């Protein structure tokens, strides 16, 4: 019906509906991304002129020690940051979701709302809050650890090269655990009761029911949680910047791709900012995210489709 | 069958479930609670007994006085409010219009535009920052709230189009066809029939759009870092960076940033959680 209509006259109404939104999206989102990819192939001269240099920015970033050391350091750190989220945040989220979905649980809504609360707050706020709590000056954490008999293990974790990154990862895990919890909880709720009942009638234990029935059914959601975690982690910046500043100290031990991108683009004490090198870092981040998303679509979307309800 | 045993077993299980959930709830709330109670105490009390509630002797508002005196908290707050409200308004309006066009009409390029918009859900707009800054400086929008508003509209549109499309698809065909038979224009159909019907979905989209905008540090830091155009998140970051040793002020500024969000969360958490758990975002 609409096609007949469209043939009659030029579809002005489509332009009216689509135009303004698409214009803003193309100008402020699509074009800058493509332009960033383009700029990564140029070099900025001292007078501000751009000359085409092909892939030389990338070969600098990947192989020239001055650039590649920080780059691989940031990539490696970012990977650790991601692994901590995958191994701690998402399993805890899963556990909480399973507990929340137990039948006839009282205060379910209160738990849900309260555990999700930190996710709502700005990463900046959370960063400062934990900086205060972990501060040896204030001593809240230290006193608490003495109280439970672990006082000897307390340290200024955020200030040590060996522990700063892990501590920051845990802060981020603490803040965002509500997200996997909520999404997995929703997936668990959507499993038909008959399936569970059938499994119980067949004599499966709670663990067997979970492992054989529920887990395969929530796999698509776990896949989605993983890719969301991946994209968010490889795009993170605020927490490190708030707690450790743009230099991601001590000695760049908490540097991740987001902070490296910021420093490369805007410069810092040791190095002038560069438009084109910044674009090159952003392009590599883009490729990393693209690979992650492609892997997700390939592995998860295809394999788990047969489980989909 | 003997029911007594499983019952007992269930009660034990319920107890463990509650214990775990309660422990985690405490872990989630404790840090925020400590910051808020200490912002109402004297400096001495903050250090002497951080876990005590403020009493008549230890109660003090000196931190808040300092913050309100030394920074333009009210201004930052209203900047954040303006940026969020204007961005959300356009994300909802333009997002609904795009969703309607993409789901209702078949035309050349429909699929391509759909995919292009969907890619925006996964690919962070931040990656284009280098060129966004150039673009905004060419448009003379750097250090204005408009730069942020444009970026946030572009950032919010993909998810809005996606969620709203799902809802627009559910509008019964008969409604639209009846209106068309009566000669109602497409534009009027959209604004008088479709928009009111998808209002509940728009509330969900509004909440999802609001959170990242309100909490963002990256774009305010790059596009509007000074001249009284700071948003609240950037304002707090800069203020604390400057007065890092003044514990009263630090705690008070954190509390001032947390409390409005807490209040909004208490009001809208139902909406938000329903959105998250109804499968609207998948």
Here the ipTM equals 0.88
- Name which CATH class applies to B72-242: mainly alpha
Distance in angstroms (rounded) separating the CA atoms of residues A166 and B77? 33
What tokens were used for A165?
């990154």
For A25, the closest of B129, B157, B278 (CB atoms) is B157
| CB under 8 A, 24+ apart: contacts of A4-8 | A6/B105, A6/B106, A6/B107
**Domain count for chain A:** 1
**Chain A within 8 Å of B238 (Cβ-Cβ)?**
no
Distance in angstroms (rounded) separating the CA atoms of residues B127 and B118? 16
Mutate to test the interface with B, among A4, A24, A32, A276 (most CBs of B within 10 A): A32
Q: Is the pLDDT of residue B165 over 60?
A: yes
Over residues B188-206, mean pLDDT: 89
Identify whether the C-beta of residue A41 lies closer than 8 Å to the C-beta of residue A57.
Answer: yes
pLDDT given at position B277: 73
Q: How many Cβ pairs closer than 8 A exist between chain A and B?
A: 239
pLDDT given at position A302: 65
Distance in angstroms (rounded) separating the CA atoms of residues B70 and B64? 10
Q: How far off is chain A from B31, nearest CA to CA, in Å?
A: 7
**Chain A within 8 Å of B33 (Cβ-Cβ)?**
no
Nearest CA in chain B to A21: B94
Distance in angstroms (rounded) separating the CA atoms of residues A17 and B94? 8
**Chain A within 8 Å of B109 (Cβ-Cβ)?**
no
Q: How far off is chain B from A80, nearest CA to CA, in Å?
A: 21
List the beta strands (DSSP E) in B44-191. none
Q: What's the number of CA atoms in the CB half-sphere (13 Å) around residue A96?
A: 30
Q: What is the dihedral of CA A288, A291, A293, A298, to 10 degrees?
A: -160
Considering the entire predicted model, what is its pTM? 0.90
pLDDT given at position A45: 84
Query: Which CATH number belongs to the domain containing residue A180 in this structure?
Result: 1.10.3720.10
Q: What is the SS3 assignment for B30?
A: helix
Pairwise CB contact (< 8 Å): A129 & B254: yes
Residues above pLDDT 90, as percent of chain B: 47
Phi, psi of A255 (to 5 degrees): -70, 130
**Which residues are within 8 A (CB) of A291 and not within 5 positions of it... i.e. 6 or more apart?**
none
Pairwise CB contact (< 8 Å): A132 & B129: no
Over residues B175-183, mean pLDDT: 89
For B236, the closest of A6, A125, A278 (CB atoms) is A125
**Which residues are within 8 A (CB) of A127 and not within 5 positions of it... i.e. 6 or more apart?**
A171, A238, A239, A242, A243
Mutate to test the interface with B, among A3, A102, A120 (most CBs of B within 10 A): A120
Identify whether the C-beta of residue A285 lies closer than 8 Å to the C-beta of residue A78.
Answer: no
Pairwise CB contact (< 8 Å): A122 & B214: yes
Q: What's the number of CA atoms in the CB half-sphere (13 Å) around residue A107?
A: 12
Q: Which residue has the tokens 């065909």?
A: B173
- pLDDT class of B100 with cuts at 50, 70, 90: very high
Q: Is the pLDDT of residue B189 over 80?
A: yes
Could you write out the DSSP letters of every residue in B67-123? HHHHS-HHHHHHHHHHHHHHHHHHHHHHHHHHHHHHHH---TTHHHHHHHHHHHHHS
Over residues B26-36, mean pLDDT: 93
Q: Which helix (H) or strand (E) holds A42?
A: strand A42-44
pLDDT given at position B274: 77
Ordered per-residue pLDDT tens for chain A, 309 residues: 444 544 556 788 899 999 999 999 999 999 999 999 999 999 988 887 888 998 999 999 999 988 999 999 999 999 999 999 999 999 999 999 999 988 888 888 899 999 999 998 999 999 999 998 998 888 888 888 888 888 888 888 998 999 999 999 999 999 999 999 999 998 898 888 888 888 888 888 888 888 888 999 999 889 989 999 999 999 999 999 999 988 988 989 999 999 999 999 998 887 888 999 999 999 999 999 999 999 988 887 765 554 443
Q: Looking at residue B52, what DSSP letter applies? A: S
Q: Which of A18-22, B61-65, B244-248 is the least confident region? A: B244-248
**Which residues are within 8 A (CB) of B54 and not within 5 positions of it... i.e. 6 or more apart?**
B37, B40, B41, B45, B60
Name every chain B residue with its beta carbon within 8 A of the beta carbon of A48: none
Q: Is the pLDDT of residue B61 over 80?
A: yes
Average model confidence (pLDDT) for chain B? 88
- pLDDT class of B141 with cuts at 50, 70, 90: very high
Domain ranges in chain B are 4-64, 72-242
Beta partners for residue A271, in sequence order: A268
Name every chain A residue with its beta carbon within 8 A of the beta carbon of B259: none
Q: Name the residue range of residue A287's domain.
A: 65-307
Q: Which helix (H) or strand (E) holds A125?
A: helix A123-134
Over residues B235-264, mean pLDDT: 88
**Chain A within 8 Å of B98 (Cβ-Cβ)?**
yes
> From residue B28, how far is each of A85, A93, A111, B34, B96 by CA, in Å?
16, 13, 10, 12, 36
Q: What is the SS3 assignment for A44?
A: strand
Phi, psi of A51 (to 5 degrees): -120, 140
Name every chain A residue with its beta carbon within 8 A of the beta carbon of B220: none
Cis? peptide before B208, omega within 30° of 0: no
Cis? peptide before A250, omega within 30° of 0: yes
For A29, the closest of B50, B95, B125 (CB atoms) is B125
B196: exposed, middle or buried (C-beta count within 10 Å: 0-12, 13-18, 19+)? exposed
Mutate to test the interface with A, among B131, B235, B247 (most CBs of A within 10 A): B131
Q: What is the SS3 assignment for A34?
A: helix
Pairwise CB contact (< 8 Å): A265 & B47: no
Name every chain A residue with its beta carbon within 8 A of the beta carbon of B31: 118, 129-130, 133
In a domain, A6, yes or no: no
> From residue A177, how far is each of A116, A129, A169, B24, B272 by CA, in Å?
8, 17, 12, 10, 16
pLDDT given at position A232: 93
Pairwise CB contact (< 8 Å): B31 & A133: yes
Distance in angstroms (rounded) separating the CA atoms of residues B31 and A237? 22
């Amino acid at each position: 019906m609409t096609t007949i209509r469209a043939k009659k006259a030029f579809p002005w109404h489509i332009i009216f509906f689509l135009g303004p939104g698409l214009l803003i999206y193309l100008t402020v989102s699509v074009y800058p991304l493509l332009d960033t990819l383009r700029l990564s192939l140029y070099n900025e001269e001292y007078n501000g002129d751009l000359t085409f240099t092909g892939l030389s920015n990338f070969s600098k970033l990947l192989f020239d020690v001055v650039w590649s050391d920080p780059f691989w350091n940031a990539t490696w750190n970012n990977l650790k940051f991601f692994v901590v989220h995958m191994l701690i945040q998402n399993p805890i989220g899963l556990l909480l979701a399973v507990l929340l979905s137990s039948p006839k649980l009282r205060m379910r809504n209160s738990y849900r709302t309260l555990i999700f609360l930190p996710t709502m707050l700005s990463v900046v706020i959370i960063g400062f809050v934990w900086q205060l709590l972990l501060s040896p000056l204030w001593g809240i954490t230290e006193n608490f650890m003495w109280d439970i008999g672990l006082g000897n293990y307390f340290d200024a974790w955020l200030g040590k090269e060996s522990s700063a990154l892990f501590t920051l990862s845990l802060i981020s895990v603490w803040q965002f655990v509500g997200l996997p919890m909520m999404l997995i909880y929703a997936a668990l709720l959507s499993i038909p009761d008959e399936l569970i009942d059938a499994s119980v009638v067949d004599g499966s234990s709670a663990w067997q029911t979970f492992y054989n029935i529920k887990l395969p059914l929530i796999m698509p959601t776990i896949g989605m949680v993983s890719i969301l975690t991946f994209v968010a982690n490889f795009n993170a910046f605020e927490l490190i910047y708030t707690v450790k500043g743009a230099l991601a100290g001590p000695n760049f031990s908490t540097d991740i791709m987001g902070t490296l991108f910021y420093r490369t683009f805007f410069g810092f004490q040791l190095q002038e900012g560069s438009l084109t090198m910044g674009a090159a870092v952003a392009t590599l981040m883009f490729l990393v995210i693209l690979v992650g998303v492609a892997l997700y679509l390939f592995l998860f979307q295809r394999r788990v489709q047969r489980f989909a309800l | 069958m003997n029911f007594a045993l499983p019952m007992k077993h269930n009660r034990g299980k319920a107890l463990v479930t509650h214990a775990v959930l309660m422990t985690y709830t405490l872990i989630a709330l404790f840090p925020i609670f400590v910051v808020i109670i200490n912002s109402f105490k004297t400096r001495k009390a903050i250090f002497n007994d951080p876990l005590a509630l403020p009493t008549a002797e230890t109660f003090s508002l000196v931190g808040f006085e300092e913050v309100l005196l030394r920074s333009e908290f009210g201004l930052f707050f209203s900047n954040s409010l303006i940026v969020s409200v204007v961005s959300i308004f356009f994300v909802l309006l333009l997002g609904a219009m795009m969703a309607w066009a993409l789901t209702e009409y078949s035309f050349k390029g429909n699929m391509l535009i759909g995919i292009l918009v969907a890619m925006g859900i996964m690919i962070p707009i931040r990656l284009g920052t280098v060129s966004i800054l150039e673009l905004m400086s060419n448009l003379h929008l750097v250090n204005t709230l408009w730069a942020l508003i444009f970026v946030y509209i572009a950032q919010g549109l993909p998810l809005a189009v996606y969620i709203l499309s799902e809802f627009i698809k559910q509008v019964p065909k008969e409604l639209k066809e009846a209106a068309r038979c009566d000669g109602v224009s497409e534009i009027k159909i959209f604004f008088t029939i479709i928009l009111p019907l998808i209002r509940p979905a728009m509330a969900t989209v509004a909440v999802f759009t609001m959170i990242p905008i309100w909490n963002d540090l990256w774009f305010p830091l790059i596009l509007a870092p000074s001249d009284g155009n700071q948003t609240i998140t950037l304002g707090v970051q800069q203020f604390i960076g400057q007065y890092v040793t003044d514990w009263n002020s630090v705690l008070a500024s954190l509390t001032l940033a947390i409390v409005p969000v807490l209040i909004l969360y208490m009001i809208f958490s139902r909406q938000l959680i329903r959105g998250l758990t109804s499968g609207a975002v998948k």
